[in-house]
Structure 1
Amino acid sequence: MKEFIGANQQPMLELIENLVNIDSGSYLKSGIDKVGEILAEEYKMIGFETEVHEQEVFGNNLVIRHPEAEAPEIMLIAHLDTVFPEGTAEKRPFHVADDLAHGPGVIDMKASHATALFAIKALMDSGSSAYKNVVLVLNTDEEIGSISSRSLIEKVAADKKYALVLEPAQNGQLVSERKGGGKYFLKAYGKSAHAGIEPENGASAIEELARKILKLHALSEPEGGITVNVGLIKGGTSVNTIAPFAEAGIDLRIETPEDGERLDRAIKEICSYTETPGTTVELTGHITRPAWVLTDAARTLIDVIAEEGMKLGITLSHEKSGGGSDANLTAHIGIPSIDGMGPVGGNAHQETEYLVVSSLTERTLLLANVIERLSGK
């Protein structure tokens, strides 16, 4: 498999270039679907079948498996969306400089699609039947919390023995735990009035929202890894008008499932009443990603991956990340999960995002070997 993967580095880079040069921000359905269609065709050419789970707003989620995969035990998860707006690919298209490849979404996570595809091709080329033990879920809204794909991911994962999530190895290491998080949206309603002539006849939605923001931020417990952040606010109609409406977007980060339950109750309690006469508030949202805590079963999976890494001269450790991923979802329902199974790179979500090209074949071989090992082949 090493020889096969090494000989296919250029085709891997060409596939990545093709994917990177298509804008596929989370809300750009046309671009995401185009990326998905390219990958579905790649898998079709090696005999795999794709179930298309159509979405009206977001891109279509894909479930890919070989027709002879009767009860696959390994789930691979990779997302098709990026964080970048339409037009980004044209402004800074894929390019390689020395050992680094650049472009929007190159490491988060379009390179990972090449890793998955060519790991499976390598297994097939070697005569191993382990490729029949794999099902892939390519989802389309990971960057915004897997809103539409969570139920599909959990459904596919339910009877699996392992979940391998192909987020990048940004420090060259595996990810074994992640913070959980929630997204909430608070709307405040008041009554407009002229700020100079009759302010007493108005009720300021902005004032009420400001009072709420202070209380929400006070819920943060930095020493315990809990943060509540109001990252977006807007409202009002003009500077000389008492604001009849205002709204805020709230981000919650938690360390444990228990933290999530407690903070969810606290946020809802704060938003259950008003302090500014004449105003009302409306809260929506919930915990979108449960906290992922390392389990003994996941430790065993990590040991297997680390052993396979040592055979390739790769020393792998594992770490906790403050960001969320789809591994939060599979781990939450009890499936041993590991993240960071993609190639090495960094600066995700930034203009300087990069893929370490030399890690591409190395991590593809690691993935193929891990799939074979877990399949007992």
Structure 2
Amino acid sequence: MIALLEKLVNTDSHSYNKQDVDKIGSILQKEFENAGMKVDVHREKEFGNHLSIASPNAKRPGILIIAHMDTVFPDGEAEKRPFEIIGDRAYGPGVNDEKASHVQVLYAMKALKNAGLTCFHNVHIIFNSDEEVGSPSSKSLIKEAAEGKDYSLIVECGRPNEGVITARKGVGRFKMSVTGKSAHAGVEPEIGRSAIEEIAYKVIKLQELNDLENGLTVNVGLISGGISANTVSPDAEAVIDVRVQSKEQATDTVKEIYAIAEEEIVQGTDTKVSGEISRPPMEMTKESQKLLDRVKEIGKEIGLDIHGESTGGASDASFTASVGIPTIDGLGPVGEFSHSETDEYTVVDSLIERTTLLAKTIERLS
């Protein structure tokens, strides 16, 4: 397991480098085919190819497992700081998010096949290539794979203290663009219409939408505009990150954003909004609670005290949960500090623990 993990971590796979992500896909395709599984390659032009994996004898697999092959790290990062083990932790770019999960899924399937269990045929695996940038090319594949499934098991990294993820916020990205009128700021400022002034008023109103107590965050993370210090700015732009806890909250927040855009404070300016809630919230349901209870029971049998947690981070679990499939996330090996240039790690021993948990969960659910 460690040898394969090292190979994966030492292969760059930034979301926008199709060639590198496809190298990861080729490694995994070979491993799963050697394990007796059928791998269908869904070819993409812009992003890496996606893999759809199942037993050749699968007829109607009831369990969907999803993991992503891309990372946030730029080309050359693997060479700069290659895989290494220090104490009980493995380090390297993407080790936790989520190359350890690829190893986990492979060896869980190997364990089921080697034990001669028919549940080997009850699993459909999707490895996608663009999760870190919102799954634009794989979203439809995931939704198609989810049709008719009984359960969805997402292997994003497990949390320390034996946590799994039972709720995630929905995520939206919006761009608010203001058009004004340029003028010489010293000679005839009165004929100008400042887009920067208009966007400044709107940024304050957008930030006022935050409701941390109820799980709503609205963050204007980028602003730009203008052409020079002595020119009344003819254009300005704000990029907004939105995290919501429920579908209702998402609907209300989008309405608020558009209302702010429509309000003209600096006369003569015009504002347009683009964007959407691209990932719906993963909300805890009665069915997902029942699934969590079963995972907890299985955990106890192998000495793990599993508990559920919520997070503001996004994952593909949102897509399966939003269509009503009982979903548990964070079932991958345990680690922390994803996306960190120095601190990201996976607990080595958790490779065995979480692989056993995944294999037994597949067996029990089948």
Structure 2-normalised TM-score?
Answer: 0.95
How many Å separate the matches in 2 of 1:188 and 1:29? Answer: 34
- 2:285 alignment counterpart: 295
Q: Deviations over 1:267-307 (max 9, x none)?
A: 12211343223322221111112122211111111121111
- 1:106 alignment counterpart: 95
Note if 1:239 corresponds to 2:212: no
Amino acid in the other structure paired with 1:343 = P
Aligned-residue offset at 1:27: 2.0
- 2:21 alignment counterpart: 32
How many Å separate the matches in 2 of 1:23 and 1:99? Answer: 23
Gaps of 5+ in 2: none
Aligned-residue offset at 1:114: 0.2
Aligned-residue offset at 1:310: 1.0
How many Å separate the matches in 1 of 2:107 and 2:25? Answer: 16
How many Å separate the matches in 2 of 1:190 and 1:93? Answer: 50
- 2:64 alignment counterpart: 75
Residue from 15, 33, 37 that aligns with 1:44: 33
Aligned-residue offset at 1:201: 3.3
- 1:159 alignment counterpart: 148
The 5 Å alignment of 1:75-154 reads 75-154=64-143
Note if 1:367 corresponds to 2:352: no
Relative to structure 1, is the Cα distance of residues 197 and 89 closer, same or farther in structure 2, using a 3 angstrom cutoff? farther
- 1:344 alignment counterpart: 334
- 2:168 alignment counterpart: 178
Aligned-residue offset at 1:170: 2.1
- 1:261 alignment counterpart: 251
Residue from 322, 347, 356 that aligns with 2:312: 322
Q: SS in structure 2 opposite 1:271?
A: helix
Aligned-residue offset at 1:173: 0.8
Note if 1:281 corresponds to 2:271: yes
How many Å separate the matches in 2 of 1:95 and 1:68? Answer: 38
- 2:346 alignment counterpart: 355
Gaps of 5+ in 1: 1-11
Structure 1-normalised TM-score?
Answer: 0.93
How many Å separate the matches in 1 of 2:190 and 2:8? Answer: 58
State the identity as a percent: 48
Q: Deviations over 1:339-370 (max 9, x none)?
A: 11100111111120000001111111111111
- 2:51 alignment counterpart: 62
Note if 1:212 corresponds to 2:202: yes
More displaced, 101-110 or 175-184?
175-184
- What RMSD, in angstroms, separates the aligned Cα atoms of the two structures? 1.5
How many Å separate the matches in 1 of 2:217 and 2:195? Answer: 25
